[in-house]
Amino acid sequence: MAALLPDLQRTTNDLESQLKTQDSESKASRVILQTRRDALANLRYYFQEAGTKSVLIDWIKPGALCDLVETNKSAINILARANLVATLDYIQHVESKSDTDKRDFLQTLDASFPHLFQPLDLNPKPCPQLVLDIRTCYLIEMLACIKGKPHAPEAIARIFCQADGKFDYASPCEKGPYRRLGGDEEEDRQRCSAQIAKLLATIDKARKNFGLETLRQEFQLGELWGRLKRWIRDICDDLYQFEHSEFLPSKIVDDSDGSEDGSEDEAEEPVRIEGATAQQPFPIEAHSILELVATKRRDGANSPRDDDGQTSNGGLRQGSPVESGSGPSSRAPKRPYDAADDGEGPEADVEGEPDFQQDRRHLVHRTKVTALESWPTRVKFRRMAIGQSRLAMASENPSSALPNSSQQEVEKLERACKNPARKEHEVDAEGRPTNTVWLE
């Protein structure tokens, strides 16, 4: 699950940005929203228990996710943000479709709000009235599924009161103990007592259906959704500002002596090797660009799995300049060096000359040789490197597996955009090359 946290964070951000710019009139926008909603739901599956239908991730319940949070506290912010965005998305979905089930969602909010919505690095203000309104709306949806007034006190006690194992539900409704709302204990008790008294009075006056119409007019679900969305957006904005805050402590002050950390590092002398002489910087001239290009090509050609098995700098200098500049011998055609091409050959190494200077001369010479390759050969070599969807394996290699193959078989492989010179050990299990050099 720890490896999926970055994906969960990215998917949550995508859905949140889509909710901010959602255009309900645009069909394309609705399709994008549904796609990102499904992406978050599919990824949320790996953080929930099997069979869970909730849109929230519970990291407090004992389990593997709880153990992960104990060792990685930063995961709480990612999980809390996922719950905030998922709740905001579900509220908008409920508002757009009136036939959506609200009772299960309110039950989930009643059991998880606000502790599964609070990031670790933020301390939002308590919202006892919002918690009380969630439980009240959940009670109204529960009463819509119950038949008979005698069951009303039981439903109220189950939602507002703490479970004590007693069967007399009238006493808990009047005296408690009530479930906490997140605020002051005495204020929470007074809020719950007043709300329960108001609910019981409305139910007793009703002739049928517990007075659901009166309760829904007095405690409107739309107002609850609006307040909850504003609370979620405020938390998301605070979390975003905290994560992207530009305040970074530049220095750490030690209270004991008033010294600053890092002063010793600044005062340290640079380490110098005895007998070493300062080298001149790399010249910034016209030919230096060619040297940089040659360095790039050499780094690509000198992979850890060379044909000769040489990986040291000495092995690079001993190789032929033509072969090193054109890439691996299995890909590029070998062309003997002709001194008449550029008027001069590679200079001999000077005894005692630093290695980087020898490398510079070899790189410049190799660049000149590479530039003299025939254009048709370079075009063909590049087409074979880019166009082949799957490289030839040993069974398709006329040079190794088919020693008596004809020229027609070789041309057939080339027309299929496959390299007839590719050997089996030069490709991986999926047919991708392991020693390819791209020529610009």
Give me the pLDDT at residue 425, please.
74
Both 310 and 219 in a single domain? Answer: no
260 falls within a domain: no
pLDDT (0 to 100) of residue 83? 95
Rounded CA gap, 231 and 391, in Å?
57
Structural domain includes residue 253: no
Give yes or no: residues 295 and 163 share one domain. Answer: no
Record the pTM: 0.56
Tens of pLDDT, residues 283-319: 445 455 556 666 665 555 554 444 444 444 444 444 4
Q: Under a CB-based contact definition with an 8 Å cutoff, are residues 156 and 147 in contact?
A: no
Write down the pLDDT at residue 296: 60
Tell whether 190 is covered by a domain.
Answer: yes
**Residue 174's pLDDT band (boundaries 50, 70, 90)?**
confident
Residue with tokens 């939002």: 124
Which of 243, 263, 298 is at the close of a domain?
Answer: 243
pLDDT in tens, 21-61: 888 788 898 899 999 999 999 999 899 887 888 899 998 98
What is the token pair recorded at 3? Answer: 């490896």
What was the pLDDT predicted at 229? 94
Lowest-confidence pick of 214-218, 296-300, 327-331, 349-353:
327-331
Q: Is residue 222 located within the same domain as residue 294?
A: no
Looking at the structure, do residues 327 and 385 belong to the same domain, yes or no? yes
How much of the chain, in percent, has pLDDT values that exceed 90? 25
* Residue 374 domain-assigned (yes or no): yes
Q: Out of 46-60, 164-178, 222-236, 260-274, pick the least confident.
A: 260-274
State the amino acid at position 89 in one-letter form. Answer: D
Q: For residue 439, what pLDDT is reported?
A: 53
Where is the domain boundary, 192, 213, 243?
A: 243
Are 151 and 40 found together in one domain?
Answer: yes
Within this chain, do residues 304 and 224 fall inside the same structural domain, yes or no?
no
- Angle, CA of 107, 111 and 114, to the nearest 5°: 115
d(CA 45, CA 52): 8
Q: Is residue 437 part of a domain?
A: no
Both 19 and 122 in a single domain? yes
- Do 34 and 172 share a structural domain? yes
- Do 126 and 6 share a domain, yes or no? yes
Higher pLDDT among residues 323 and 369, named by residue: 369
Residue 231 lies in a domain: yes
Adjacent-strand bridge partners of 161: 178
| Residue 176 resides in a domain | yes
Pair (182, 130) in one structural domain? yes
Q: Which band of pLDDT confidence, cut at 50, 70 and 90, is reported for residue 208?
A: confident
CA 192 vs CA 39, 129, 215: distances in Å: 39, 10, 16
Q: How many domains does the chain have?
A: 2
Same-domain pairing of 203 and 333: no
- The length of the chain in residues reads 440
Here the tokens at position 419 are 């390299």
Q: Is residue 264 part of a domain?
A: no
205 and 84 both lie in a single domain: yes
- For residue 113, give the nearest of 92, 91, 140 by alpha carbon: 91
**pLDDT at residue 91, rounded to an integer:** 94
Q: Which domain holds residue 21?
A: 2-243
341 vs 148, more confident: 148
pLDDT tens digits, 57-106: 998 988 889 988 888 888 999 999 999 999 999 999 888 887 778 899 99
Q: What is the mean pLDDT of residues 114-120?
A: 89
pLDDT digit string (tens) for 380-432? 555 555 544 444 444 444 444 444 456 777 777 777 767 777 777 777 777 67
Q: What is the mean pLDDT of the chain?
A: 72
Mean pLDDT of 329-353: 49
Measure the CA–CA gap between 296 and 202, rounded to whole angstroms: 81
